[in-house]
Amino acid sequence: MIKIAIILGSTRPNRIGEGVAKWAYETAKAKGGAEFELIDLRDQNLPLLDEPITPSRHKYANEHTIKWAEKVGTFDAFIFVTPEYNHSTCAALKNALDFVYAEWNNKVAGFVSYGSVGGSRAVEHLRGIATELKMANVHAQVLLYTDRDFEHYTVFKPTEHHEKHLHKLIDQVISWGTALKTVRV
């Protein structure tokens, strides 16, 4: 079975993303077909990128970078849970992506996003970033609207419709995640 990390991008106090990431993780675990782990970027304590050499050269200097690289390296695929901040993803997630390079390569990215238009603009940016990191990004996507999918814009209220889209996303991530394993051998 492949290993999939569900990465919670927002590190903000009162973040609404926590409910979304926990829902995605619990739904994925119940569905099965892969091993899932929930990663909260808050727990990684990454500073703003402070590597002296560009990460693509794979000469990590800092202990926190080596630790993060080891963590990312254990997974075959990723489902990023992203808010939309100023028509893009949040800085914490972009920073975590920037920190390492080879550990993302030839792996799979899927997206669960939220915002006033479902976080769609954040994901458009993330798709470009994923491509630069040599990640295959799947077509299926879960878009959540802050006005109708969250009670008082805060508490996430999942529906059958959301579940259906999440299952589709997970299926595609597992399928491509399994296929790309052969590329990395």
Ligand X SMILES: Cc1cc2nc3c(=O)[nH]c(=O)nc-3n(C[C@H](O)[C@H](O)[C@H](O)COP(=O)(O)O)c2cc1C
Which spans of this chain sit near ligand X (rule: CB under 6 A)? 10, 12, 15-17, 83-87, 115-117, 146
Nearer to ligand X, 102 or 143 (CB): 143
Among 17, 12, 44, CA closest to 111: 17
Nearer to ligand X, 60 or 85 (CB): 85
Least distance CB 111 / ligand X (angstroms): 14
Q: Are 48 and 95 in contact (CB under 8 A)?
A: yes
Least distance CB 151 / ligand X (angstroms): 13
Least distance CB 72 / ligand X (angstroms): 21
Nearer to ligand X, 107 or 121 (CB): 121
Least distance CB 48 / ligand X (angstroms): 16
Nearer to ligand X, 59 or 157 (CB): 157
Q: Are 125 and 88 in contact (CB under 8 A)?
A: yes
Residue 39 dihedral angles phi and psi, to the nearest 5°: -110, 120
The SS3 assignment for 3 reads strand
Residue 99 dihedral angles phi and psi, to the nearest 5°: -60, -40
